[in-house]
Chains A and B, each alone.
Chain A
């Protein structure tokens, strides 16, 4: 469903992505991991065109992201994205956060958008917080609202950019639980994360990146049992140690 082929990207003279190539099939869950600054976030932001790239090609559901003729807003409306810092709209109530894009982008009428929003709040266990403002919720709750907001657009795939990195430890589980349930429902997901437990539990494949390269791209069990590259071995030994 998502094909990334030979994607390279530079910030000025610094190369941040180097000929990245991978494929994500429908219903597949792929975890992207690697040291910070390795280009993981940049890569998934290229998938929905939030970051432009200079070389290579990304095709999502038959649509080329880098093609100047592609209507990016239309494409983005079909790909959900969850950010490290939630990025809920702080001046809008929770339910308005969920309904705004449904109304303005998908053209749903307000009542239907709210109903759909409430259904998704139910799914992430936050129905009773619908009229609150994001600032009144805990970090974990905010991230669950952010997931619900993305799901409200009925996306064909979901991108997660370090969804638990900004959370206190005791809140990580509630967010991961929602993501695990989503994965088990068959959602196509690309997840940038350091949560190796999550990767083991639901990922079909793990992509390991370092310094802009995709160093390893292996089925989950294989990646953990026998990482081929030295860099991946080092990364795993560091991260699994704690």
Chain B
């Protein structure tokens, strides 16, 4: 098996692997993280609010998403959203969303549920007295949240949020089920085409490992720099 290893196949396919595959992986990871954190924070505030209807809706959404495998959600979105779109708009054909947008929306909404739980824990970690101090100064709910609670909650949770992002970075490889080419997908295609399974999958594993490790080291360093002095 290892007798005729051809490392050259990696060199030859580098531009494809990184400019096509990795670019997609990183784009999807960053966009889904950024938008997911925003939506997740809103969901967390709704869950913690004392508006019974909204709190229930947000809670049910989060629980539903978190109890489903990601692959299933990707499938659902990819195959179902065109038909839902058709039903909503009343068109004669399913709405074409495209694999990229379908993947982006799926990952964003999926991760939002996880980011919601992280931000909820973050908000709850801030002592109640901080809310009262904001209120006592005459601040509105929005000002208290925006300037007092969320900045502290966010800073406390940055390590957990970024760790979730690293998991997301690895999970993006699941887009293969809807035939989108991410980094792993690109490596896989070359491997199949040239019959170089060992080289390509080994290389892909190393790249995922190096990036994830570097990122988690970065998180630790960042954690020290932004910590609030107590």
Contact = CB atoms under 8 A, between A and B. Distances in A.
B137 A105 contact: yes
A21 to B, nearest CB: 24
Given A91-B151, A105-B143, A81 B229 contact: no
Nearest to A100: B147
Contacts of A90: 152, 228-230
Contact of A105 (B127, B132, B138, B151): B138
Contact of A89 (B133, B135, B140, B229): B133
Nearest to A96: B147
Contacts of A77: 137-138
Nearest to B155: A91
B137 A83 contact: no
Contacts of A105: 137-139, 143
Nearest to A135: B229
B148 A89 contact: yes
A50 B132 contact: yes
Interface in B129-154: 129-130, 132-140, 143, 147-148, 151-152
B147 A83 contact: no
A238 interface: no
B135 A91 contact: no
Interface in A95-115: 100-101, 104-106
Contacts of A50: 132, 135-136
Contacts of B229: 90, 133-136
Contacts of A73: 135, 138-140
A101 B129 contact: no
B126 to A, nearest CB: 10
A232 interface: no
B219 to A, nearest CB: 19
B129 A85 contact: yes
A73 B132 CA distance: 11
Interface of B: 127, 129-130, 132-140, 143, 147-148, 151-152, 155, 228-230
Given A91-B228, A101-B138, 9 more contacts: A50-B136, A72-B135, A80-B136, A87-B129, A87-B132, A100-B137, A133-B229, A150-B136, A150-B137
16 contacts: A50-B136, A73-B135, A73-B138, A73-B139, A73-B140, A74-B138, A81-B133, A83-B133, A87-B133, A89-B147, A91-B151, A100-B137, A101-B138, A104-B139, A105-B137, A106-B138
Task: Give the 4 A-B residue pairs with the shortest CB-CB distance, closest first.
Answer: A77-B138, A135-B229, A87-B133, A101-B137
